């Protein structure tokens, strides 16, 4: 198994699973309200400057670079 990496470092088109949120209670609550919690699987759709667009099922989310660096993920094989 590969070591977790920040979501911001994942390549486009890669399926990843959230393994940790490192932004404190505020980020954890915001992500959970959006349905992006530990164990969720995402696909990185596109990079936009420092941020990126990810999808979970049919829903797409635009995340800023700061937030994406605090979401730790692992690749899903």
pLDDT digits 0-9 by tens, 2-31: 789 999 999 999 999 999 999 888 888 988
Whether 1 contacts 75, CB under 8 Å: no
Q: What is the pTM of this model?
A: 0.90
Sheet holding 59-63, edge to edge: 5-6, 71-75, 15-21, 41-48, 51-56, 59-63
pLDDT of residue 66: 92
pLDDT of residue 50: 82
The ranges assigned to domains in the chain are 5-75
pLDDT of residue 1: 58
5-75 — its CATH code? 2.30.30.90
CA dihedral defined by 7, 37, 21, 54, rounded to 10 degrees? 20
Mean pLDDT to the nearest integer, 48-58 = 91
């Amino acid at each position: 198994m590969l070591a977790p990496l920040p979501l911001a470092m994942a390549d486009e088109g890669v399926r990843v699973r959230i393994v940790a949120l490192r932004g404190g209670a505020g980020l954890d609550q915001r992500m959970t309200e959006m349905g992006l919690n530990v164990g969720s699987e995402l696909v990185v759709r596109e990079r936009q400057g420092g941020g990126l667009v990810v999808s979970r099922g049919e829903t797409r989310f635009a995340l800023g670079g700061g937030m994406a660096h605090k979401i730790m993920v692992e690749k899903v094989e």
